[in-house]
Amino acid sequence: MVDSLEISIMALKMLQNSALTHRSIKVSMIIVLGVMITLGNIAVLLVITSSVAGWSRNSRYFLLSLAAADSAFGLLVMPLNLCVSLLKDHTEGPDALCHVVAFCNASVYSTCMYTLAMISLERYVAVFYPLQYSSLMTRRRTLLLIAFAWCFPPCLLSPISFPGGIIEVHFSTASLVCNPSYSTNVGYSLSLTCVIFFPCSIVMTYANLRVWCAAKRQRLKLRRRGCVLVGRRHVASRVLVPVMAAYFTCWTPCMAAMIYNAVSGSSVPEWIEFVVVWLPTSNGFLNCIFYFWMNRSFRRKFYLVLQRLAMTLCPDLANALGWCSASSTQCVSGILDNNNSVHERSSSVSSTCTLLTLA
């Protein structure tokens, strides 16, 4: 009898140690991902707050909105969930803070999806209606679309923020996230996917597929006329395909797990839940790569911004790197970039990349 009790105690201690080890690994992964997302989007914001060659004003507005939404993953979502995970005791069940954190999580996720759909829609208009672009995508309409992407999700998801309301919220020890209890709110869970995920996915898929097909057809015509080099890479494929692949890879498992949880009433295994819940946040880092770093104008402008920061904060380092002359702070030719001399075009950055493919 005593031996069996000791064995049970030892097994319980091993389980606790294993849970603590898994928890430490998860927290470390979340912190690393948060730092990557934050640094990547801060670099993006430093560049696109000023004009970039080939990027119109509307494009910069949409991309600023996307960078801000992605930054919220690292600056808001991750710190809030880590605080709840590390500082609170969850044996007593959910409280008001957990409801607020779950509301912030869902709002940021939804805003990112809507912003990506708006960017795809703007790209579609720029490519297929270039002559009507200025009248269709006015500054007022652009700001209204951005406002809709930021304001509609909080209004739609507001029931999550009220403790004791129609939406139950729990803290998941598997994913270290405050989430609504989808199994007890099946109708609300399915309505969220029908109002947010599926409409955004349809808009993105249709718009990007049309742009990609148009670019491919035009490229084939120009190739037959000898206007395009055969060995030149297809820029539309290099940008649009990774963007859509990253979007569905990051978001589909999370939505599928949420629907499975709502319909079946049971949760997925621990590590699968952790991966699918935090996978959408990695889309905030991948957006930096596909929408910004793969663009030559952005890389060139980032290099100029980095040089200016180095010359302002550490002129000795800038001189050592050859960015400025040794006798003065006047920069070597090619470093200065006058933003006022950049003529903004009436096409988006994405459509510009696509049209450059056709030239």
Tokens of 328: 């003065």
Mean pLDDT of 104-122: 92
Q: How confident is the model at residue 147 (pLDDT cuts 50, 70, 90)?
A: very high
169-227 residue pLDDT tens: 888 888 888 888 766 667 666 777 788 889 999 999 999 999 888 888 887 877 777 66
CA dihedral (83, 107, 44, 175) positive or negative: positive
Domains of the chain: 2-358 (1.20.1070.10)
**Which long-range contacts does 340-347 make (Cβ < 8 Å, 24+ apart)?**
342/51, 342/52, 342/53, 344/51, 344/55, 344/56, 344/57, 345/54, 345/55, 345/56, 346/56, 346/126, 346/130, 346/133, 346/134, 347/56, 347/59, 347/126, 347/127, 347/130, 347/133
Q: How confident is the model at residue 148 (pLDDT cuts 50, 70, 90)?
A: very high
Q: Which residue has the higher pLDDT, 359 or 38?
A: 38
Contact between 92 and 142 under an 8 Å Cβ cutoff? The reply is no
- The percent of residues above 90 in pLDDT, for the chain, comes to 20
Q: Which residue has the higher pLDDT, 19 or 347?
A: 19
pLDDT at res. 353: 44
3-state helix, strand, coil in the chain (%, to 5): 75, 5, 20
pLDDT at res. 296: 78
pLDDT at res. 9: 59
pTM, to two decimals = 0.79
Contact between 120 and 208 under an 8 Å Cβ cutoff? The reply is yes
Q: Compute CA distances 302 → 36, 45, 232, 352, whole Å.
A: 17, 10, 25, 19
CA distance 269 to 290: 31
pLDDT at res. 234: 54
90-109 residue pLDDT tens: 545 557 888 889 899 999 99
Q: Compute CA distances 255 → 42, 55, 159, 258, 277, whole Å.
A: 28, 33, 19, 5, 9
CA distance 169 to 160: 7
Query: Measured in whole angstroms, how far is the alpha carbon of residue 193 from the centre of its chain?
Result: 18
Q: How confident is the model at residue 111 (pLDDT cuts 50, 70, 90)?
A: very high
Residue the block writes with tokens 């690994």: 25
CA distance 151 to 129: 28
Q: How confident is the model at residue 86 (pLDDT cuts 50, 70, 90)?
A: confident
Contact between 323 and 307 under an 8 Å Cβ cutoff? The reply is yes
Q: Which helix (H) or strand (E) holds 178?
A: strand 177-180
What's the whole-number average pLDDT of the chain? 77
27-75 residue pLDDT tens: 888 999 999 999 888 888 888 877 776 677 888 899 899 999 999 998 9
Tokens of 138: 């006015």
Q: In sequence order, which residues have a C-beta less than 8 Å from that of residue 350 and are 6 or more positions away?
A: 59, 119, 122, 123, 126, 211, 239, 240, 291
CA distance 255 to 198: 10
Mean pLDDT of 253-273: 83
Q: In DSSP terms, which residues pair with 272 in a beta bridge?
A: none
Q: Which helix (H) or strand (E) holds 155?
A: helix 139-157
Q: Compute CA distances 44 → 306, 321, 328, whole Å.
A: 12, 23, 29
Q: Which residue has the higher pLDDT, 354 or 166?
A: 166
65-78 residue pLDDT tens: 999 999 999 899 99
Q: Which residue has the higher pLDDT, 215 or 4?
A: 215
Q: Compute CA distances 186 → 200, 263, 280, whole Å.
A: 21, 7, 22
285-312 residue pLDDT tens: 888 887 777 777 778 888 887 777 777 7
